Amino acid sequence: MDYQYIIDQLPYSEPFLFVDEVLSVSEDNISGTYTFKKDLTFYEGHFKDNPVTPGVILTECMAQIGLVCFGIYLLKDETSSEKINLALSSTEIDFYCPVFPGEKVKVVSVKEYFRFNKLKCKVKMMNAKDEIIAKGTISGMIVNRYLK
């Protein structure tokens, strides 16, 4: 499968797309990257004169790569002409290091289970030094129709 196809199927666009590339994907895991561009608007107020990427945005990046991209791949043989959507159902993430403007992160997700349209994964985010930025569990429900 062409990795760009997975990204093209995502139900997100700029400025809320937090996936640059998928590095690898299999039935058991996925990895991908994203670079937090220096001009992203949330840096203007988080924090004054010392911008740091908000934890909710880091979680979103982890979910987009580690859950949504993964779900698109896992359903590759079952998809119709409609795009796949995932509804996030739960997250439990611990944060260890900040992410600053301009930093590139790598997300690695390992499937815990995928059944009854629910995908649960162990996900971690690392920086360029391979230090763990955040890790935890993310779950979501796959919906094979457009959300209205």
Gap between the Cα atoms of 11 and 82, Å rounded? 11
* Pairing outcome for strands 104-115 and 85-95: unpaired
46: annotated active-site residue: yes
Give per-residue burial for 139-148: e unless 16+ CB within 10 Å, then b: bbebeeeeee
Gap between the Cα atoms of 4 and 19, Å rounded? 10
Catalytic residue among 40, 46, 52, 83: 46
Question: Which residues belong to the active site?
Answer: 46
